[in-house]
C-alpha cells in the first residue's frame, strides 16, 4: 500500500491520471512517469475485469498507487478488484448518502463492511500476509465516490459524512450534462457545484477530486481547494503524441517537397 489515504488526510495534493486502454504495457509506462496514483477504468475503458490483474501487476513495483473505477456499487464488483490488489475504488454516479454507504461497506471486511473474506488472493500475497492486510485495510483502502448529478448536489453533506468515503470526485462531463450546460466549465452553475462539493467535503474532513485534460486548468481547481487531481489518460497520451509526430513529419515532408515539379 502506498499511503494515499494518509497523505490526503495530511493535506497533500495528489496527482494522477486515467488508464483506459486496458493495457499492462501502458500501465507500466504511466506508472513509471511520476504520478501519485492511476485509475484503471472499468466503466468506460477498453479493458475488462480480466485485464485488471495484469495492470495491477505492472504497477506493483512503481511508486504509483493503483485505483480502479468499477461500473457500479454492487458488492461483487468492488470485492473482486480489491482481492486483485487495488488500493482504492472509485464508484460513479453516487446520488445520496445511502448509495455512498453501499460503496463504503463494500470496501471493508466486517464489522465495518460487507466485504467477503478470502485469503488466497493477490491482495494478501496469496495467503502469506492476510493478517497484516486485514489489520491495515481500513486505514489504507481509499473510497472515492463520483459527484455527477444535480441530485447528488442536493445530498452533498450526507454523502461526505459517510465513514470510509475519503474523496468526493467531480465528474465534469456528466455533471455539466446533467445540469444542462454540457462542457461549459466556466458556467456559474458549474462553478457553484464545484464550490458546494469542496465545502461539503472540507466540513467532513474529506478531500475533493476532479479530472481534466488541460494542464492549464490546474491552478483554477487547486485554488478552489481540490487536492485529488487527475489530468489526462493513457489513451490521450498516445493519441496526442502520435498526432503531434504525424503532423510534424507531414510538415517536414511539405518543406522538403517544396519547389519540386
Q: What is the structure's pLDDT at 105?
A: 96
Q: Decide: 211 and 220 in contact? Cβ < 8 Å.
A: no
Number of other residues whose CB lies within 10 A of the CB of residue 222? 13
Q: What is the structure's pLDDT at 261?
A: 64
Domains of the chain in sequence order: 4-257 (3.20.20.60)
**What is the rounded CA–CA span in Å between residue 83 and residue 130?**
11
**In this predicted model, what pLDDT tens digit does every residue of 24-79 receive, in sequence order?**
999 999 999 999 999 999 999 999 999 999 999 999 999 999 999 999 988 888 99
The position carrying cell 511520476 is 34
- 145-149, 244-248, 252-256: least confident range: 252-256
**What is the rounded CA–CA span in Å between residue 45 and residue 258?**
43
**What is the rounded CA–CA span in Å between residue 67 and residue 81?**
9
- Bridge-based pairing of strands 142-147 and 207-212 is unpaired
- Bridge-based pairing of strands 228-233 and 14-19 is parallel
From the list 222, 208, 117, 210, the residue with the least C-alpha distance to 168 is 208
∠ Cα 11 15 18 (to 5°): 140
The SS3 call for residue 229 is strand
Strand-pair partners of 142:
88
**In this predicted model, what pLDDT tens digit does every residue of 151-196 receive, in sequence order?**
999 999 999 999 999 999 999 999 999 999 999 999 999 999 999 9
Please report the sign of the dihedral spanned by the C-alpha atoms of residue 117, residue 122, residue 125, residue 128: positive
Q: Decide: 176 and 182 in contact? Cβ < 8 Å.
A: yes
**In this predicted model, what pLDDT tens digit does every residue of 116-163 receive, in sequence order?**
999 999 999 999 999 999 999 999 999 999 999 999 999 999 999 999
Catalytic residue check, 256: no
Catalytic residue among 44, 61, 129, 222: 44
DSSP state of 90: E
**What is the rounded CA–CA span in Å between residue 246 and residue 41?**
28
- Check whether 259 has a pLDDT greater than 80: no
The SS3 call for residue 228 is strand
**In this predicted model, what pLDDT tens digit does every residue of 195-210 receive, in sequence order?**
999 999 999 999 999 9
**What is the rounded CA–CA span in Å between residue 126 and residue 247?**
48
Amino acid at each position: 500500500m502506498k499511503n494515499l489515504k494518509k497523505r490526503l488526510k495530511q493535506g497533500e495534493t495528489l496527482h494522477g491520471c486515467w488508464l483506459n486502454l486496458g493495457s499492462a504495457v501502458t500501465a507500466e509506462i504511466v506508472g513509471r512517469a511520476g504520478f501519485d496514483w492511476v485509475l484503471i477504468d472499468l466503466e468506460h475503458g477498453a479493458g475488462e475485469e480480466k485485464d485488471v490483474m495484469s495492470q495491477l501487476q505492472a504497477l506493483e513495483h512503481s511508486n504509483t498507487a493503483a485505483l480502479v473505477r468499477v461500473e457500479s456499487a454492487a458488492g461483487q464488483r468492488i470485492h473482486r478488484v480489491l482481492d486483485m490488489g487495488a488500493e482504492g475504488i472509485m464508484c460513479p454516479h453516487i446520488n445520496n448518502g445511502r448509495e455512498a454507504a453501499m460503496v463504503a461497506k463494500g470496501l471493508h471486511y466486517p464489522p465495518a463492511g460487507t466485504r467477503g473474506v478470502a485469503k488466497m488472493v493477490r491482495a494478501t500475497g496469496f495467503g502469506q500476509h492476510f493478517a497484516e492486510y486485514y489489520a491495515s485495510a481500513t486505514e489504507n483502502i481509499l473510497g472515492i465516490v463520483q459527484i455527477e448529478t444535480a441530485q447528488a448536489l442536493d445530498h452533498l453533506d450526507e454523502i461526505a459524512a459517510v465513514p470510509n468515503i475519503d474523496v468526493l470526485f467531480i465528474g465534469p462531463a456528466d455533471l455539466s450534462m446533467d445540469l444542462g450546460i454540457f462542457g461549459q466549465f466556466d458556467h456559474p452553475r458549474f462553478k457553484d457545484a464545484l464550490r458546494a462539493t469542496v465545502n461539503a467535503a472540507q466540513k467532513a474532513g474529506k478531500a475533493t477530486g476532479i479530472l481534466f485534460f488541460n494542464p492549464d486548468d490546474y491552478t483554477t481547481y487547486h485554488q478552489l481547494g481540490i487536492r485529488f487531481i487527475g489530468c489526462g489518460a493513457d489513451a490521450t497520451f498516445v493519441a496526442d503524441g502520435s498526432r503531434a509526430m504525424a503532423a510534424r513529419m507531414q510538415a517536414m515532408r511539405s518543406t522538403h517537397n517544396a519547389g519540386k515539379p
